[in-house]
């Protein structure tokens, strides 16, 4: 079992002010795989003081100096790539193929994207008689989740480093070991002491004091809407900037002229990947009333082709969900879908056959879902798809927008201009047309209770 009982503060690994250990659970085995220390406000004070002291020098470094640091970070990250993937797979349950192909890959992609932005970014420009200078905001507090852990760490840390900020990171205590590796990479790459600091802990003990700290100039949070509201409230008294990337209940509108087989099967795959633990997953699928039954048949076959199992086993499509807490929440919501009268097409409560240990969830599809049902309103964060029939395109758009969230959306059509016209009417931060994947240069973030601010690419840089 790995141990990481120290925090990274001011360029060194230091003991917590008050020792308090937490076991990290492997969700595939329900057994401990690591131990970390849980921090406190006193540890946050030390880390923020280090970041504040480092800011004057780091903020004045040249573009060329930062480029050299980035090149070194990328070199070391590539060397430790497989270790990062294996760590993520162990602590949050992603299949090893996904951990290598996407989880670890996103961290590298954000570092390389921000390096390219840094090389040519216009920090100064003249407009009329005024010179505009874009300057680092200061000390940043970062609070990141467990579902795409290194992605959400690096999409905050990389632009902050490139812009000349200093920072304190609180990664998720559920999947913290990948963050330890990131800290080791930055240290080896020569990031000056105090520029990057890491304190492990939970929201009340570390997240809250970091959000409210008077010497933190900006806090960036990714996680649930409930926790994001608490972060914003904690930050309000010191009038710091707040960026939030929160929950989602993304609509996937399959238009009348779409290739139904491709659209529905692809939509199911989009929901199931990462065991449904993606804030932008297309979890509400809208299909024409006249094609509902055909779409349900396609979705059933696609979901039943998903192989749930050991993240390290060959052929596994999805692994477990991250924790017992998440498992129980998903089970309750599946049961609520049944109780409220949605048609259970496949899946349901309980573990998949043959899996008696681990937080494994059955790939589940509901049909004949109404938009007022709990499974259509709440973010389930598991491999659960709701299929909602619609009569007219206008009704589909209206139902798609009838949500407190607005992170992402999906539109499927045989005519790309048709898809764009519909997509332009969806209140969401991103519209994916015909299965378009992520773009690391595009802004990532949402409307309404999906958050404020944008990450990724130049927009995250700014």
Catalytic center residues:
245, 279
Token pair for 53? 């002291």
Under a CB-based contact definition with an 8 Å cutoff, are residues 316 and 274 in contact? Answer: no
Alpha carbon distances (Å) from 443 to 245, 373, 437:
11, 31, 13
Give burial (CB, 10 Å; 0-12/13-18/19+) of 62: exposed
Token pair for 130? 């005024």
| Angle, in degrees to the nearest 10, between helices 393-401 and 416-423 | 40
Look-up of token digits 């760590």: 87
Token pair for 177? 């070991």
User: Phi/psi at 155 (nearest 5 deg)?
Assistant: -70, -10
DSSP symbol at 387? E
Greatest extent of the chain over all pairs of C-alpha atoms, in Å: 72
Question: Is the backbone of residue 458 left (phi > 0), alpha (psi -120 to 50) or beta?
Answer: alpha
Separation between Cα atoms, residue 75 and residue 84, nearest integer Å: 14
Separation between Cα atoms, residue 99 and residue 246, nearest integer Å: 22
**What number of other Cβ atoms are within 10 A of residue 183's Cβ?**
21
Q: How do beta strands 408-412 and 430-433 pair?
A: parallel
Q: How do beta strands 130-133 and 124-127 pair?
A: antiparallel
């Amino acid at each position: 079992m790995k141990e990481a009982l120290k925090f990274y503060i001011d360029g060194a690994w230091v003991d917590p002010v008050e020792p308090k250990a937490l076991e990290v659970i492997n969700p595939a085995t329900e057994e401990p795989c690591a131990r970390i220390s849980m921090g406190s406000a006193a540890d946050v004070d030390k880390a923020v003081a280090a970041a504040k002291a480092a800011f004057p020098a780091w903020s004045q470094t040249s573009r060329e100096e930062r480029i050299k640091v980035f090149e070194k970070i990328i070199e070391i990250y590539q060397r430790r790539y497989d270790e990062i993937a294996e760590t993520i797979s162990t602590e949050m349950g992603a299949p090893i193929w996904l951990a290598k192909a996407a989880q670890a890959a996103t961290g590298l992609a954000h570092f390389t994207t921000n390096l390219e932005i840094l090389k040519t970014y216009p920090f100064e420009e003249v407009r009329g008689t005024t010179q505009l200078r874009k300057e680092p905001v200061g000390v940043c507090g970062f609070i990141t989740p467990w579902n795409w852990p290194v992605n959400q760490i690096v999409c905050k840390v990389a632009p902050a480093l490139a812009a000349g900020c200093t920072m304190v990171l609180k990664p998720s205590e559920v999947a913290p070991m990948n963050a330890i590796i990131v800290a080791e990479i930055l240290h080896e790459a020569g990031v000056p002491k105090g520029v990057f600091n890491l304190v492990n802990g939970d929201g009340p003990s570390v997240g809250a004091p970091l959000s409210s700290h008077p010497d933190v100039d900006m806090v960036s949070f990714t996680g649930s809407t409930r926790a994001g509201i608490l972060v914003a409230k904690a930050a309000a008294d010191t009038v710091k900037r707040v960026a939030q990337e929160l929950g989602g209940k993304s609509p996937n509108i399959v238009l009348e002229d779409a290739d139904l087989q491709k659209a529905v099967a692809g939509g199911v795959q989009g929901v199931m990947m990462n065991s449904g633990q993606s804030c932008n997953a297309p979890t509400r699928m809208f299909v024409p009333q006249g094609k509902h039954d055909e779409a349900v048949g396609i979705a059933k076959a696609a979901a039943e082709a998903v192989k749930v199992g050991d993240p390290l086993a060959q052929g596994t499509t999805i692994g477990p969900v991250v924790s017992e807490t998440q498992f129980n929440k998903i089970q309750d919501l599946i049961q609520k879908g049944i109780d409220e009268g949605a048609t259970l097409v496949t899946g349901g409560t309980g573990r998949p056959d043959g899996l008696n240990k681990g937080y494994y969830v059955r790939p589940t599809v509901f049909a004949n879902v109404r938009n007022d049902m709990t499974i259509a309103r709440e973010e389930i964060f598991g491999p659960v798809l709701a299929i909602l029939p619609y009569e007219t395109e206008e009704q589909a758009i209206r139902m798609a927008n009838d949500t407190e969230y607005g992170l992402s959306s999906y539109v499927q059509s045989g005519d790309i201009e048709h898809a764009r016209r519909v997509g332009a009417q969806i209140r969401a931060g991103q519209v994916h047309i015909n299965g378009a994947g992520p773009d690391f240069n595009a802004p990532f973030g949402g409307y309404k209770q999906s958050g404020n601010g944008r990450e990724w690419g130049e927009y995250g840089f700014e």
